[in-house]
Amino acid sequence: MIGIISDVHGNYAALTAVLGALDRMRVSEIICLGDTAGYYCQINECCDTLRARGIFSLQGNHDWYLSSGEGCPRSSSANRCLTYQREAITEENLAWLATLKPRAHLHGIDMVHGGWNDPLDEYFSPEPGYFAQIPGTHFASGHTHVQLLWSQDDKTYCNPGAVGQPRDGNPDAGFAVWDAGQFKLFRVPYDVHATQRAMHDAGFEPYYYENLAIGARIGGKIDTYPGLAPTTFETITGDANEASSSGGVIDRDKQ
């Protein structure tokens, strides 16, 4: 069983909760689909943890912004957070982010951060035509911060959702596991107030962190995949080994 996480975004409290849940589930490996950087202030704690645990990580668009010195072309809020992280991040962690790649093929899964037309920064909604020309059967990406399982014909796609900034109206941190050829989605509560306090202490106004309490973008917007129903998931509140194995499993007859 392999854990799949994405979009940590400097939220150390959320990362700690997700890794704790995956440890209790006794996964053999954890893979991060990118965007350790961006938004929240504990960038070094998050990078240090992923590096110390040997967690294979892709590069996301925020990782690229931070390591390249470029800005986000569509969000002044993201750029304010990146400015803080550029001043805070250690040389070792910045160099590590720069070495990451946005695409990999592991355990039979084709993985990117964004999409298959632009592995770093594409937003897409899965449909048969999108995957028709892409070799393989199982795909995973992050970037949207919205959990999804989608399957049609011989193609199956998973978005594990966001660890550090869920945007689907649920503030719990999201992640997935790959087990016996199936993706399963999970959520775990974390100490949102700890991240909000850290952001306050770092000098950020509530605008930059109040969204965490409702599972939304900065500014309060909640995202969905247009035309697709939300996917079921299992919420872990105690011993992760007690989580139902039915959480988030695709039913090909109903999807």
pLDDT tens by residue, 70-102? 999 999 999 999 999 999 999 999 999 999 999
What pLDDT digit, counting tens, does each position of 172-224 carry? 999 999 999 999 999 999 999 999 999 999 999 999 999 999 999 999 999 99
* Residue 105, beta-bridge partner list: 110
How far apart CA 244 and CA 186 sit, in angstroms, is 10
Buried b or exposed e, range 115-136, using 16+ CB within 10 angstroms: bbeebbbeebebeeebbeeeee
Q: Side chain identity at 33, as an amino acid letter?
A: L
How far apart CA 105 and CA 30 sit, in angstroms, is 14
